[in-house]
Amino acid sequence: MPEIVFENIYKENFTFWEKISDADREYICQNSYMLTYPKGRNIHNGKECSGVIFVRSKNLRLYMMSEEGKEITLYRLHRGDLCMLSAITFDIFIDAEEDSQCCVVSGPAFAAVSQRNPDIRIFALETAVSRFSDVMWVIQQVLFMSMDKRLAIFLSDESARTGSDTIALTHGQIARYMGSAVKWYPGC
C-alpha cells in the first residue's frame, strides 16, 4: 500500500503526527501494513507482538481468558481507536467482532520512533491510561455490581454506541462481554 495512504490516515488520527520529523513519519509508514480481519478471527493471543493496531473500520474485542475458558471483555475498540496492548507480549486476546480493517504499525518501529519523540510517548501513555480506566470500570462492575445492574449498563451503553434500541447481539455474546460466559465442553 502506498505510504501516502498511511500518511493521510495517521495525520488525521495521531495527535503527534505533525510534531515528529519527516524521517520518523516515513519510517512509521514504511513499517505499517493494512490488514482485514474476518469476523471471529483471533488477531492477538498474547504470545507475540502484533504491533500497534489502529482500527479503520468495524470492531475488535480485547479480553482475558481463564484456564477454565471463562472470558471477560476488558474493552472493545471501534473505528478510530488504537490498541497499544497488542504491541507488547501481554496475556490478552483480541478478536475481530466483524470483518474489520486495521492499520498495523510494527511494534519495534513504533518503539524506536517513540524513544526519540516525547510527543509519541505522551500519546501512547494517554491512550494506555484511557484503556486502563476502561479496564478498572470492568473490574468494578464484576466485583461490586449485581448481574442485573451490569446487564442494564451494558444494554444502555450498547444502545448509545449503536444509536439504536435494537441490540443485535446473541445472549452468548452479551455474556462474553460481561464476563459471565463459561465455555461449555460436551460430556462434562
pLDDT, tens digit, for every residue of 142-169?
Answer: 888 888 888 888 898 888 888 889 988 8
Share of the chain above pLDDT 90, in %: 34
pLDDT, tens digit, for every residue of 90-139?
Answer: 788 899 999 999 999 998 999 999 999 999 999 988 988 888 888 888 88
Quote the cell numbers at residue 102: 486495521
- pTM, two decimals, is 0.77
Domain ranges of the chain: 3-145
Sheet bearing 42-44, strands edge to edge: 42-44, 93-96, 60-65, 71-77
pLDDT, tens digit, for every residue of 57-95?
Answer: 998 999 888 888 888 888 889 998 988 877 666 788 899
Look at domain 3-145 and name its CATH class. mainly beta
Residue in this structure with the C-alpha cell 450498547, named with its chain if needed: 158
pLDDT at 1 over 60: no
Quote the cell numbers at residue 53: 493496531
pLDDT given at position 36: 93
Side-chain-side CA neighbours of residue 151 (13 Å): 11
